[in-house]
Amino acid sequence: MPALASEKSLADGVVSVGALRAASYQKRILCIWNTDYASSSGAEDWGFVMLDGSYGLFSNESIFAEVLERCLFIINQRLQGLILPDICIHRSLGNNVSSCIAGRGSSAYHYSIGYKEGVFNAGQYQAKSVLCVGPWGEARTAF
């Protein structure tokens, strides 16, 4: 994933493999989507995962896979309006900001991730989005 996000060709265009598309912005945001799930309305629901920085996905390589899996799970659940299961140990922090454990497994269980949900008007459509940040350890607070 870090190599994919820093790939120069992704910054200049969109890579297409079957229905999968990928692009990056300034090596900090990696956008991956599947055209089979895109509507033609122009108003899509999106999930974002922070990659760089202290609270980015790349900040802890040892639990990278678990955190990415959890972020994708959160984005999928919340964009569908579904609640997270109890195993995520979800906490609402107010103002559409929540946190939960960063993933399964003995290492990721000791870290948290945060996410913020929003609804934006896009013309006559409303688009939902979810932004995930983290992981961070018990001694750090992102929000």
Q: Which two tokens stand for residue 1?
A: 């994933």
- How far is 4 from 75, CA to CA, in rounded Å? 20
Residue 87 CA to its chain's centroid (Å): 19
Query: What DSSP element (H or E) covers 9?
Result: helix 8-12
pTM here? 0.80
pLDDT of residue 42: 65
Domain ranges of the chain: 1-38, 44-143
Nearest to 68 by CA among 135, 137, 13: 135
- How far is 92 from 39, CA to CA, in rounded Å? 31
pLDDT of residue 28: 67
pLDDT of residue 139: 38
Measured in degrees and rounded to the nearest 5, phi and psi for residue 139 equal -85, -10
pLDDT of residue 35: 80
pLDDT of residue 91: 93
Q: Which amino acid is at 20?
A: L
- Where the chain has pLDDT below 50, the residues are 139-143
Average pLDDT, the chain: 82
Q: How many other C-beta atoms can be found within 10 angstroms of the C-beta atom of residue 135?
A: 29
